[in-house]
Amino acid sequence: IITSLVFLLMVVTFPISGWFALKIVPTYERMIIFRLGRIRAPQGPGVVLLLPFIDHWQRVDLRTRAFNVPPCKLTSKDGAVISMGADVQFRVWDPVLSVMMVKDLIAATRMTAQNAMTKTLVKKSLREIQVEKLRIGEQLLLEINDMTKSWGLEVDRVELSMEAVLQPPRENLVGPLATMPPVPGLEGPDGTIQQLAAHFFSNTLALAGSGTGAPEAADSMETVNEVEPPTAPLLATAGTARRKPSADELLSVVESILSEALVSQVGASYQVNIALPSGAWSTYFIDLSSGSGRAGRGVPEGSPDVILEVAEKDLQDLFLGDLRPLTAYMSGRLQVKGDLHLALKLEELVKAMKQRR
């Protein structure tokens, strides 16, 4: 009855209603019409009649189109960090499914392509990615089509594009704490925070060994003189639980190597915000911008050049080697804000620690 009344109203008001009721659909498009909420068969090409007030319509382009997957940072099987993107070509083969099954067709397909690319590339080495780009693209094509065929969409081509190699592959992914993988945007070639932790733990081991009557080497005796021994050992003997170090204990190591020469080489200030389990934040600073440098609790004078944000548990896991820094950065558990060039200058702090030791 409603359809008949609307059609009669359109005939009575013709030709004025013709300007709104008649639509021209080109050959490469189809028009999907919802009449009173129910979908009809695709209309077009040619002239299509729409009933005012009760018809809602949407055009679907059947031509081959393309979109790009934005470059994202990935870690390959051999530990290389790369920036990889992709170009995807697709076409709609079923206009009705493309409208009914997914709201934003391109956004959903882009997300599917990015997830498939990430899952595939993390299982391959850097050399395999560079040599087998075409074969990997064909594999991604099949995986994406398995998901998008129910959307009325078919992917015709996937072409991978490597933007840059951010970090070369490593031969030994699980090595000593001093050679743990660096955090992009924060660490130097050898990993600044990890080298600080390795230096601190080596001192603690030397102190623990001296209590058992074991002979100490000359360099171990010098290390003991540099840092005052903590009230309780951070690394217990075999068979006992290992106590995780506090931020204050690590800070004491940094304070022992501050000098005017180090300030002249770095010339920047750093702020570390630590999220405590209670929900509060604890802030520390390392100011290497003037004088002989300073380190302690709170914020540096003026605006810091680099700000690090990390949860206390994640910071402890980083120091103990239970959490890979690259994993923490990629998962968002370690946040870096500030000048990347100044952040990399922390490597001078590590060099000074090596010379002092």
Tell me what the mean pLDDT of segment 16-26 comes to. Answer: 84
Q: At residue 261, does pLDDT exceed 50?
A: yes
Lowest mean pLDDT among 11-25, 51-65, 166-180: 166-180
Which one has a higher pLDDT value, 79 or 317? 79
Tell me what the mean pLDDT of segment 98-123 comes to. Answer: 91
Integer Cα distance of 193 and 329 in angstroms: 13
Which whole-number Å values give the CA distances from 69 to 85, 261, 333, in the listed order? 5, 47, 24
Q: How confident is the model at residue 354 (pLDDT cuts 50, 70, 90)?
A: low
Nearest to 126 by CA among 162, 89, 177: 162
Q: Note the pLDDT of residue 309.
A: 78
Which one has a higher pLDDT value, 82 or 286? 82
Query: pLDDT for 119-144, tens place per residue?
Result: 999 999 888 998 888 999 999 999 99
Average pLDDT, the chain: 74
The answer to whether 264 touches 229, Cβ cutoff 8 Å, is no
Integer Cα distance of 210 and 221 in angstroms: 9
**Domains, the chain:** 1-61 (no CATH), 64-167 (3.30.479.30), 247-356 (3.30.1050.10)
Integer Cα distance of 307 and 272 in angstroms: 6
Tell me what the mean pLDDT of segment 264-292 comes to. Answer: 79
Q: Note the pLDDT of residue 169.
A: 83
Tell me what the mean pLDDT of segment 41-48 comes to. Answer: 89
Which amino acid is located at 297 in the chain? Answer: R
Report residue 177 as tokens.
């704490």
The pTM of the full predicted model, rounded to 2 decimals, is 0.46
Per the document, the length of the chain is: 357
Q: At residue 165, does pLDDT exceed 80?
A: yes
Q: Note the pLDDT of residue 240.
A: 42
Q: At residue 249, does pLDDT exceed 80?
A: no
Which one has a higher pLDDT value, 225 or 55? 55
Q: Helix (H, G, I), strand (E, B), or coil: what is residue 306? A: strand
